[in-house]
Amino acid sequence: MVYEGIRGPSRPGVPDDQFGLGLARSRGPRIDGPWEKYPGNPILMDLPGNVGIGHGDLVQVGPAIYLYTATSPTTRGRYVLVRK
């Protein structure tokens, strides 16, 4: 599972603006957990000046699993993330 987390505002008086994506897995057959968080989280996080990284979707193509995430054309360009 990919989930979005937040650290809160970067400074007083601004809305929450520090986001990150984390991974978690369930070893059992149930979709509602229990979940184990990946110790290397966050796998993707905001950089200064970004508004938010959006959400992430996992897609499996053959043996490879890809993470797709949304970006805003007004605050960021197009990014490709490859993590093996």
pLDDT single digits (tens) 21-65: 888 999 888 888 899 999 998 887 776 665 556 667 788 899 988
The greatest distance separating any two alpha carbons of the chain, rounded to the nearest whole angstrom, comes to: 47
Q: With contact defined as beta carbons under 8 Å apart, do 24 and 4 qualify?
A: no
> What is residue 50's predicted lDDT score, i.e. its pLDDT?
59
Say yes or no to pLDDT of 79 above 60: no
Name the residue type at position 13.
G
Give the model's confidence band at 81: pLDDT under 50 very low, under 70 low, under 90 confident, else very high.
low
> What is residue 63's predicted lDDT score, i.e. its pLDDT?
92
Give the model's confidence band at 71: pLDDT under 50 very low, under 70 low, under 90 confident, else very high.
low
CA 55-20-33 angle, 5° bins: 70
Q: What are phi and psi of 10, to 5 degrees?
A: -80, -20
**Closest alpha carbon to 81 in 42, 38, 31:** 42
